[in-house]
Structure 1
Amino acid sequence: MENPTTTEVTVDLELARFSDHRNEQRTRHSQALAKLMEERDDLYGVNALADLVSDSLRWTA
């Protein structure tokens, strides 16, 4: 794309902003899940995805 139009540039900026927002949201949710799993041991084993996220965060800490 040698000479992008204004529309193409605007779309690219919006996509980048959306991607940043999704990454921030994913981080916040992962942190909240890790905190909840740390506080409530009885929740471990209830949901496999929650266990995976919690374990992954512990391994990277």
Structure 2
Amino acid sequence: MTENEIIESAELDKRRDQRSSLKAKHAQSLTKLMGTRRDLRGVHALADHLDDAVRWTA
């Protein structure tokens, strides 16, 4: 690997880690919101799906 490829690889790894962290934070926040606001159930299908998926894996 060249020095440039090593730098690019490190940047990609950093971005993957950031993206993974953001996904976890988003899922956690959405689950918390859906838990406190039951009236939001059925408003957005993707939010319902994610909430269900997180609860099934807990």
Provide the rounded CA distance (Å) in 2 between the counterparts of 1:58 and 1:20.
23
Is 2:57 aligned against 1:56?
Answer: no
2:22 aligned partner = 25
Unaligned ranges ≥5, structure 1: none
| Aligned sequence identity (%) | 45
TM-score (norm 2): 0.99
List structure 1 segments (4+ residues) > 4 angstroms apart after TM superposition: none
1:43 aligned partner = 40
The CA RMSD measured in Å over matched residues stands at 0.3
* 1:5-57 alpha-carbon deviations (Å, 9 max, x no partner): 10000000000000000000000000000000000000000000000000001
Is 2:12 aligned against 1:15?
Answer: yes
TM-score (norm 1): 0.94
Is the radius of gyration larger for structure 1 or structure 2?
1
Unaligned ranges ≥5, structure 2: none
Higher fraction of helix: 2
Q: How many residues align?
A: 58
